[in-house]
Amino acid sequence: MSKILVMTDLHLTEPPETIIGLDPGARLAEGLAHAARHHPDADRLILTGDLTHHGRAAQYTRLAALLADLPWPVTLMIGNHDQRGPFRAAFPKAAVDADGHVQSIIDLPDIRLICLDTVDEEARVAHSGRLCPARMDWLQAALDTAPDHGAIVFMHHPPVDTGFTGMDDIGLSNQAEIRAAMQAHPRLRHVFAGHVHRTISASMGRVPVAIFKGTCHQMPMCLGEADHSLSVDEPAAYGIIIAGPSDVVVHSEDFTLPHQATQSF
């Protein structure tokens, strides 16, 4: 069995800047410490984008310091709040494809991990995402060459509408094309995303989809609301995926909840 940790929507700022009074860096440090304490045996940590709030060099520098000396390898992805240039300057060893997109393939014994770059720097709608033809071809090849035990996909923008109108409006501009490619592939077992700042379970035809909360602020439960900038101080979280040759199990850990001692009934 493989254990993968997922953190998303970090939104790092430069002190003293905060988001609704929260310091995203302090929240991330708390989450990383919690995960290292409880899941040192994880095979990998994946950060699924919106690493920073503005894509500034200083924000990536702060992130690099927070990611030092962790017990697991880390895969970095970007989201709509990130900028490829400053990101790649700060993380020159981060995996990219032949066209410079921040995406990669990691083969674990039980599963293939496919990490996609959904950022659209020429988006007609600000903060929306897209997979261009080159990235669509890359995804198809990554799925086609996956081992018999299959693959799971990580992406920042989810491939489904969630009912949060404002967030859906800044989703994937070619969502139908992406869905068709994913739903048709027999080796795709699960899709994971962020962007919405909520814990959401969904299905894309036969393919299950899980969306994780962020490590800082969350989207309030306001289905149908057109404003995508709303934020609330609800518990921050990270995801825990346990993948075997036949099953994928998904957990969400609200790491900012007060610690409570456990006891047997």
- Is the pTM value of this prediction over 0.85? yes
Residues with Cβ within 8 Å of 202's Cβ and at least 6 positions away in sequence, in order, are 158, 160, 162, 208, 209, 210, 211
Residues with Cβ within 8 Å of 105's Cβ and at least 6 positions away in sequence, in order, are 112, 113, 114, 115, 142
Answer yes or no: is 259 within a domain: no
What the block records as the tokens of 3 is 């254990």
| Cβ atoms of 81 and 74 closer than 8 Å | no
pLDDT in tens, 72-113: 999 999 999 999 999 999 999 999 999 999 999 999 999 999
Strands 248-254 and 237-243: antiparallel
pLDDT in tens, 186-236: 999 999 999 999 999 999 999 999 999 999 999 999 999 999 999 999 999
Largest CA distance in the chain: 57
| Residue among 237, 185, 165 nearest 5 (CA) | 237
**CATH code for the domain in which residue 210 is found:** 3.60.21.10
Residue range(s) defining the domain that contains residue 45: 2-254
Answer yes or no: is 265 within a domain: no
The span from the CA of 251 to the CA of 189, in Å, is: 16
Domain count across the chain: 1
Answer yes or no: is 146 within a domain: yes
